[in-house]
Amino acid sequence: MNRTILYKILLFAFITASGFSLYFYQQSQVDDEKIREMMAPESDLPMYHFALIGEEMNHEYWRLVGEGAKTAEENHDVLVEYGGPKRSNLDEQLKLFNMAIKSKVDGIIVQPLNDQFTPLIDQAVKQGIPVITIDTDSPESKRDVYIGTDNYLAGQLAGKALVKDTKGEATIGVISGSFDNALHHLRVKGFTDIVEQVDGIEIVAMEQSDISRVDVEETAYNMLTEHDNITAFYGTSSYNGVGIVAAAKALKRENDMYVITFDAIDENIQLLEKGDIDAIVEQQPFEMGYRSVEKMLAIIEDKPVQDVYHTELSIIRLVDLPNRNRQKGGSS
């Protein structure tokens, strides 16, 4: 082998070895970076970790609550873990609340369906975890703040709308989302306190139903067959209107039936447009979610907070839709 070939081989070997060294050096830098990321100091994690627990994840109303909370999360150094049963389930909701306390989150935002939540709220607060109630209050507990609808006032507003729209003449069936849940109880109480004052109005039937539409339809159907003089329905939950309308249609009673229900979810708005629902009590679920995160931060940062923040309420009728759509950037 002559010298030139030998030099070429040596040069080739040198270049190859240098290439490999460079490659492995770069690779080790990448790996170091990954390890550094994995062992990232706590400061890279959001400063606070909140749990938000709602009634039913598979529901437009609760999706909007979650969107509000997530929007607030984007604007602050906080992680909001949002959870709840897929379909309304008291035990599951209590279990999630318990888990949030055990995992020592920095704050818990919860919808306390009834007084079974009170000991848990008190326990969390005793352990130094602030609690904000949302959508439904638990005023007898040690919760820090309530953010949501004034549910008694909402019932009164519904009662006044019905009295106005029916000109004080109606035979009413009331469907409550649940006789056990605080918010439905208040919505019924506010409503009855108004309509009972009017001579031409009588409540002839009052039933509770699961918050699902299928259950409401069956309940409304039975009420209508037992009391064929019902001319108006009041439903205290989002899907009540949908179920009532379906039952009235099945019995060919939709034309002379007045229906008022809660929540401006898409299906209710569509039924309002068709004239099947006459009025909707609109709540502000997005705002509840958004403000609950902001107020929780205020509590943690020792800023002054009020005991109660009531979110806006309004009655929507068909005539209000064009204006409402304009305000929301809609087309009509």
Does residue 61 interact with ligand BGC by CB under 6 A? Answer: yes
Q: Give min distance, CB of 34 to ligand BGC, in A.
A: 43
Does residue 262 interact with ligand BGC by CB under 6 A? Answer: yes
Q: Give min distance, CB of 271 to ligand BGC, in A.
A: 15
Does residue 284 interact with ligand BGC by CB under 6 A? Answer: no
List, in order, residues 6 or more apart from 318 with CB less than 8 Å away.
Answer: 272, 273, 275, 278
Alpha-carbon gap, residue 61 to 238, rounded angstroms: 8
Identify the residue among 263, 276, 278, 282 touching ligand BGC (CB under 6 A).
263
Identify the residue among 50, 53, 59, 178 touching ligand BGC (CB under 6 A).
59
Alpha-carbon gap, residue 132 to 305, rounded angstroms: 11
Specify the residue, 49 or 87, whose C-beta has the smaller distance to ligand BGC: 87
Does residue 177 interact with ligand BGC by CB under 6 A? Answer: yes
Beta strands of the chain (E only): which ranges? 48-53, 78-83, 107-110, 131-134, 145-148, 170-176, 201-208, 232-235, 258-262, 279-282, 308-310, 314-316
Specify the residue, 78 or 259, whose C-beta has the smaller distance to ligand BGC: 259
Does residue 238 interact with ligand BGC by CB under 6 A? Answer: yes
Question: Binding marks (x or -) toward ligand BGC, 198..237, rule CB under 6 A?
Answer: -------------x-------------------------x
Specify the residue, 192 or 212, whose C-beta has the smaller distance to ligand BGC: 212
Instruction: Please choose, out of 55-63, 217-225, 303-311, 321-329, the segment that lies near ligand BGC by the rule CB under 6 A.
Output: 55-63
Angle subtended at Cα 313 by Cα 308 and Cα 317, rounded to the nearest 5 degrees = 170
Does residue 157 interact with ligand BGC by CB under 6 A? Answer: no
Identify the residue among 52, 53, 56, 258 touching ligand BGC (CB under 6 A).
56
* Cross-strand pairs, 174: 206, 234
Angle subtended at Cα 41 by Cα 66 and Cα 39, rounded to the nearest 5 degrees = 100
Q: The tokens of 121 are what?
A: 């709220």
Binding-residue total with ligand BGC (CB under 6 A) = 14
- Nearest CA to 60 out of 245, 221, 269, 231 is that of 269
Distances (CA, A) of 320 to 32, 156, 234, 260, 315: 61, 20, 20, 15, 9
Alpha-carbon gap, residue 151 to 155, rounded angstroms: 6
Interacting residues with ligand BGC (CB under 6 A): 55-56, 59, 61, 135-136, 177, 183, 211, 237-238, 262-263, 283
